[in-house]
Chain A
Amino acid sequence: MNASTIDFPVQMNRNESNAPGQNMQKPNSPEPEAHAIAPATAFQIGKLSVSFGAHTVLKDVSLDIKARSVTAIIGPSGCGKSTFLRSLNRMHELVPDARMTGTIRLFGENIYGPEIDPVVVRRRVGMVFQKSNPFPTMSISENVTVGLRLNGIRNKGILQERLEKSLKMAALWDEVKDRLNAASTSLSGGQQQRLCIARALAVEPEVILMDEPASALDPLATTKIEELILDLKKDFTIVIVTHNMQQAARISDQTAFFYLGELVEYAATRKIFTNPSVKQTEDYVTGRFG
């Protein structure tokens, strides 16, 4: 893992929102400049291995994830899909004895470089979880803007603008625009999940990771999320874990099949589902195991 020589874009120098006297500072809006020059590859993952204690969960995974497209991660449960996803924004480090080797580059930058703060990585790589987790003490609007406020943005106009933009992108605006100050817990399950997506979008990350985002939702809410994902890939890179084959087929451009911690096959979604090269993949996508 050699340290990156590329300088971080401006957006990564985050304000410490708690530091007194900094509120007046011009907010560093995390404008995704990287998008303007986005090369085709968002993540370059080389020989990634992750272990928890003595238990190796991912073994030598190498793949490139295309920018502004949807990449689906499929595989039987326990094969390391979530772990893989979480290594992309260093969330797996929250587990005390987690260890990782290999390299992960995000738009050319080694996100595991010695000088890189995981906090900064997570600003660039947002995440949506299986179970929706809005902050229950915050209103709908506070939930969406909390990431911006952490960034030190206090300007009401900017917050309002981002609030509306994010909720629109998350296809939630029309449903909540009249009750932005209502409790986030007053929303339905599907709405709460879209609120979480809006919350992740508000800080304008470059990548959004989704770990089975619709698995706890009813079919209608699932459809909404899927449409939303297709919409979002115009602006964002999306990596989604799903155990639903049809869903992967419907929404993703590339699909990676994991089995027992190894990447078995990675190709265009159409190929994976119609003409996979590996027998194991075929067995899995046709439902013969898993």
Chain B
Amino acid sequence: MGRWASVPPASAGPFQNLGMKTKDPGGDAGFSQDTGVKSPWDSIFKWFTFLMAMSVIALIFLVGYELFKSSRLSISKFGWRFLVSSDWDPVAEQFGALPFIFGTLVSSLIALIIAVPLSIGTALYLTELAPVWVRAPLAFLVQLLSAVPSVILGLWGIFVMVPWLRENLFPWLRSAFGFSPLFQGPIYGVSILAGGIIIAIMILPIITSVSREIIRSVPGLQREAAYALGATRWEVTRIAVLSYAKKGLFGAVILGLGRALGETMAVTMVIGNRPEIAKSLFAPGYTLASVVANEFAEATTEIYLHALFEIGLVLLGVTVLVNALAQLLLRAFGGSGVKA
């Protein structure tokens, strides 16, 4: 069964592998490590793959170490205050990462809220519901979306999406949900919500295509079991497909989240780039990745440069932390999902 269920998060970082120590429920394990005859290639292969896996982890630590070294001035000057301070004043040489952490987490959260139902819905449509002849072309179109360069999407965001949000969607949201502080305040168009929407568009293809593979790997016999009980198509999807695939789908979402946290170009172009923590989603924001990309060239003082490197370190930390948290969540609540 689902290779994806164990493998997909691989590119989301080595921390995903923590979830792989699970037993195989079916008889389709294929290989067992103790099958009497052992060739030397077995252990060579084992060590080789182990080394490869280790090198990925080593790479992460190396990057972390380099970032740490390059940000030591900022670290020694601000200490932990860097993480909780909202000051970002290069002239006064005051630096704090909180607005960027906030912007990164909130825009990624918005992106997930939009992209997850859309992607999994699309994946379900592409595997379960769509007429057979439209499946492959449609899947191709979705993948094509991931080929659009980030900067092009950003341009589209500035010239098409943001004006439309400003004129249409945001005013409507404000009139419909204005009772909530999330949807109050002045509307500029560029905003943390616009950033979230752009990120959603960017992570949609990856979540969709990984989910599609996962759903496709659900054995046909599972679907037949449900159909034979007199389940409707939706019930089959629910009891046979989604519950079987839920662990893998969670992995797909985490993969998307990893992308969302680090997404830079397009989001920089529409989020407004103002380091503030506002209640309203209509207010401009700033992300960790954006501030590094935006201000690197103008970081003339050493402490400024080191603060930006520390922002990079924080981004790495946030990504690793979110992935680790996701793993814990998966273990705590995903226990009933099918293990790969």
Contacts and interface: CB of A to CB of B under 8 A. Distances in A.
A203 B230 contact: yes
Contacts of A137: 243-244, 246, 336-338
Contacts of B234: 18
Contact of A135 (B132, B230, B240): B240
Interface stretch (A123-131, A220-228, A254-262): A123-131
B167 interface: no
B232 interface: yes
A150 interface: yes
A185 B229 contact: no
B89 interface: no
B230 A120 contact: yes
B156 interface: no
A99 to B, nearest CB: 16
A119 B230 contact: yes
A150 B224 contact: no
Contacts of A129: 221, 224-225, 228
B227 interface: yes
A17 interface: yes
B26 A14 contact: no
Interface in B202-257: 219, 221-232, 234-235, 238-240, 243-244, 246
B261 to A, nearest CB: 29
B25 interface: yes
User: Chain A interface: which size bin?
Assistant: 20 to 34
Interface in A77-113: 89, 91, 94, 96
Contacts of A89: 228
A123 to B, nearest CB: 4
A136 B2 CA distance: 13
B224 A14 contact: no
A147 interface: yes
A146 interface: yes
B181 to A, nearest CB: 30
B235 A136 contact: no
A133 B231 contact: no
A121 B227 CA distance: 11
User: Chain B interface: which size bin?
Assistant: 20 to 34
A133 B25 CA distance: 12
Contacts of B243: 135, 137-138
Nearest to B24: A185
A14 B229 contact: no
A127 B228 contact: yes
Contacts, number: 78
A185 B228 contact: no
Nearest to B225: A133
Contacts of A70: none
B227 A133 contact: no
A76 interface: no
A14 B230 contact: yes
B69 to A, nearest CB: 47
Given A137-B337, A185-B25, A150 B239 contact: yes
**Looking at B223, B228, B337, which has the most chain A CB atoms within 10 Å of its CB?**
B228
Interface in A129-166: 129, 131, 133-138, 146-147, 150
B225 A189 contact: no
A153 to B, nearest CB: 13
A135 B244 contact: yes
Given A137-B243, A189-B27, A196 B337 contact: no
A189 B239 CA distance: 21
B228 A200 contact: yes
A183 interface: yes
Interface string A1-26: 00000000000001001100000000
A166 to B, nearest CB: 12
Interface string B108-133: 00000000000000000000000010
A113 B25 CA distance: 41
A122 B229 contact: yes
Interface in A1-59: 14, 17-18
B131 to A, nearest CB: 8
Contacts of A194: none
A100 B226 CA distance: 22
Interface string B251-278: 0000000000000000000000000000
A182 to B, nearest CB: 12
A135 B224 contact: no
A183 B25 contact: yes
**Nearest 6 pairs of A and B residues by beta carbon:** A123-B230, A185-B25, A127-B228, A122-B230, A147-B229, A133-B221
23 contacts: A18-B234, A18-B235, A18-B238, A89-B228, A91-B224, A94-B223, A94-B227, A122-B229, A127-B224, A129-B221, A129-B224, A129-B228, A133-B225, A135-B244, A136-B244, A137-B243, A137-B336, A146-B229, A183-B25, A185-B25, A196-B225, A199-B229, A203-B229
Given A123-B229, A137-B244, 5 more contacts: A14-B230, A137-B338, A146-B239, A150-B230, A203-B230
